[in-house]
Chain A
Amino acid sequence: MQGEFIIKQISVFSENKPGRLAAIAEALEKSSVNIFAFSIAEANSFGVVRALVDKPDIARSVLEKLGFAVQFTDVIAVRMKDEPGGLYETAKILGEAGINIEYAYAYSGKEAAVLILRVSQAGEAIARISAAGGSLLRESDLG
């Protein structure tokens, strides 16, 4: 089953205004939503906040109530080997399969560092990484 390795990321569009980011973090905290991973991509005046959380549906409704535009995005999470070249290896597997990495960010998981990938074909990426002996996380493995 490839579907079990697809993880729901929340993507929040935000203007680069003072306090906007803090508002997102505060709202999630107040609703007891745990943030596992967090990344911000920004242009001059606006950016996208991406987060993996334990309760994505609650996070989405809380943020939408505050007027944020929120989307779910399918991403995959790869457990990084605790040795040099881990990132390179994953990128190489995907590159050879013609799968585009739109963006990636990492966080330190329970046992090892975790690489979050947003790719052009998530299902295909999961198959390739698994076949090459890579270790993927399920939503329940996050944290």
Chain B
Amino acid sequence: MRCWDPRIEEMPKDELSKLQYRLLKTLIYRMYSFSDFYHVRMKEAGVHPDDIRTLADIRLLPFMYKSDLRDNYPDRIFCASRDELVRYHVSSGTTGKPTVVGYTQKDLDLWTTSLARALTSCGLGRGDVIQVSYGYGLFTGGLGLHYGAERIGATVLPTSVGNTERQIELMQDLKATAIACTPSYLIHLGEAAERMGISIQKDTHLRSAIIGAEPWSETMRTRIYETMGVRAYDIYGTSEISGPMFSECSEQKGIHIWGDIAYPEVIDPKTGEQLEAGEPGELVMTVLQKEALPMIRYRIGDLTRIIDETCACGRTHPRIERISGRVDDMLIIRGINVFPSAVEHAILGISELSGHFMIEVDRKGSLDAMLVRVEVVPEALSDKINDLINIKRKVEHVLKNALNVAVSVELSEPGSLPRFEGKAKRVIDRRVF
């Protein structure tokens, strides 16, 4: 099946906008009337539901933050009474209190529908055996994918996380065709299989992986395909908007955000101003039909850009690019927002460099100075100093174009820059504010 719900997924863009406006308007009236929390927030921002006259007026609405959930722990900003709730999920905060998300039956249905569309768009359906190796429990990944996979008529193998050898045995015996898990678990599983003398490519039926909940890259996608013969699809979501909800389609050119379910915006994280489609910035999500815990202009803190063109798959709903980093990592250099992920992206495209880099920021007089140290691959080294100077200039040029701010570049000896396991700390900011 090509589309789970072609009427919605291929809806003409103008019709989709009208539908989104209607849903937004309904949501805002409901929040203004029933949510003490958001009523106050709208009053403070000087916005009344009547001020929302077009879809673009969404930019008048105040933001919501993760701290709103924490500050109102556990359920003080819920918009449904306790007897309407059918489930809780809880995410453990790395700092302070956890956040609790409640779901009505309709919330669960929408979440499941969203995933049914997503999984169908990855080419999965009846006849597939989907091994759900996300954690089951308070985390949204396991149960979310479980119900999504059942909805499309696939057979679910609910292995949850852990006991990898048994997972591999079951994968073989029950002929799993797809797996849903984190990228790091997929790679771990591949390595474990290899140690057991099992080739995922030759000895199993696994052909697709729906992976997310952690940052990963195109390089990992290629590596997964080459070592396991598995096509990996990016899935996106966070518990505050329900859980994993959206994924790439078979084109693998961005994650479709179902417009009747959520309205994505990308803003400048510093000013809060909405940015044009195609410009990189902070993702802001409004979940249009959530009942128990509606999220309006929720600042997830992830960086991406919106792709507004209709996808080659025929779906009209907007897409977002793979998440390139976190807003917390953003640097402001001479008033310009600079994301380390953009530096990384630019550097990965230069064949003379190894891809490892460090960013150093200093203040020289009243000006910020940004230095990027890059590593030259041995093959690109030369005994001619001019060849090296040309590499340095090329990198400076590429970075200037990518970041819109001049940076100086220094070439480092191959292998000399720090390597990171897990989260990389590539920025040294020595400025004193």
- B partners with A: yes
Which residue numbers of A lie inside 8 Å of B, CB to CB?
A: 9, 11, 13-15, 41-48, 50, 67-69, 71, 73, 102-103, 118
- Separation in Å of the B399 CB from the closest CB of chain A? 15
Determine which of B376, B383, B416 lies in contact with A11 in the assembled complex, contact meaning CB atoms within 8 Å: B383
Q: Return the chain B residue nearest A73 by Cβ.
A: B383
Distance, CA A44 to CA B385, complexed state (A): 11
Distance, CA A25 to CA B376, complexed state (A): 23
**CB neighbors of A among B361-407 (8 A):** 376, 378, 381-385, 388-389, 392
A-B contact pairs, 19 of them (CB 8 A): A9-B383, A14-B413, A15-B411, A15-B412, A41-B384, A43-B388, A43-B389, A44-B410, A46-B412, A48-B383, A48-B385, A50-B383, A67-B413, A67-B415, A68-B413, A69-B413, A69-B414, A103-B384, A103-B385
Closest 9 CB pairs of A and B: A11-B383, A41-B385, A45-B410, A73-B383, A13-B381, A69-B414, A46-B411, A69-B378, A43-B389
- Separation in Å of the B25 CB from the closest CB of chain A? 58
- Separation in Å of the A88 CB from the closest CB of chain B? 23
- Separation in Å of the A133 CB from the closest CB of chain B? 29
Distance, CA A80 to CA B85, complexed state (A): 93
A13-B413 contact given A43-B389, A69-B378, CB 8 Å threshold: yes
Determine which of A45, A67, A71 lies in contact with B411 in the assembled complex, contact meaning CB atoms within 8 Å: A45
Distance, CA A11 to CA B385, complexed state (A): 11
Determine which of B383, B410, B411, B416 lies in contact with A118 in the assembled complex, contact meaning CB atoms within 8 Å: B383
A13-B376 contact given A45-B410, A118-B383, CB 8 Å threshold: yes
Residues in B with CB closer than 8 Å to A9 are 383
Distance, CA A50 to CA B383, complexed state (A): 7
Q: Return the chain A residue nearest B383 by Cβ.
A: A11
Q: Are B381 and A71 in contact (CB under 8 A)?
A: yes
Determine which of B384, B392, B416 lies in contact with A48 in the assembled complex, contact meaning CB atoms within 8 Å: B384
Residues in B with CB closer than 8 Å to A50 are 383
Distance, CA A71 to CA B414, complexed state (A): 13
Known contacts A13-B388, A43-B392; can you find 7 more A-B pairs with CB under 8 A?
A13-B381, A14-B413, A41-B385, A48-B382, A48-B383, A71-B383, A102-B384
Q: Are B381 and A46 in contact (CB under 8 A)?
A: no
The number of chain B residues touching the other chain, given as a range, is: 10 to 19
Which DSSP category, helix, strand, loop or mixed, fits chain A's interface? strand
- Separation in Å of the A48 CB from the closest CB of chain B? 6
Distance, CA A45 to CA B413, complexed state (A): 11
Most buried by A among B389, B410, B413, B416: B413
- Separation in Å of the B397 CB from the closest CB of chain A? 16
Most buried by A among B385, B388, B411, B415: B385
Distance, CA A43 to CA B383, complexed state (A): 13
Determine which of B385, B392, B416 lies in contact with A15 in the assembled complex, contact meaning CB atoms within 8 Å: B416
- Separation in Å of the B289 CB from the closest CB of chain A? 56
Q: Are A42 and B416 in contact (CB under 8 A)?
A: no
Q: Return the chain B residue nearest A103 by Cβ.
A: B384
Distance, CA A128 to CA B412, complexed state (A): 39
Distance, CA A109 to CA B232, complexed state (A): 63
Residues in B with CB closer than 8 Å to A14 are 413
Residues in B with CB closer than 8 Å to A102 are 384
Residues in A with CB closer than 8 Å to B389 are 43
Distance, CA A30 to CA B389, complexed state (A): 32
- Separation in Å of the A29 CB from the closest CB of chain B? 21
Distance, CA A47 to CA B381, complexed state (A): 11
Distance, CA A48 to CA B384, complexed state (A): 7
- Separation in Å of the A76 CB from the closest CB of chain B? 14
- Separation in Å of the A32 CB from the closest CB of chain B? 24
Q: Return the chain B residue nearest A43 by Cβ.
A: B389
Residues in A with CB closer than 8 Å to B385 are 41-43, 47-48, 103
Residues in B with CB closer than 8 Å to A47 are 385
Residues in A with CB closer than 8 Å to B412 are 15, 46
Q: Are B388 and A46 in contact (CB under 8 A)?
A: yes
Distance, CA A47 to CA B382, complexed state (A): 10
Distance, CA A71 to CA B416, complexed state (A): 17
Distance, CA A15 to CA B376, complexed state (A): 11
Q: Are A67 and B388 in contact (CB under 8 A)?
A: no
Most buried by B among A9, A42, A43, A103: A43
Residues in B with CB closer than 8 Å to A46 are 388, 410-412
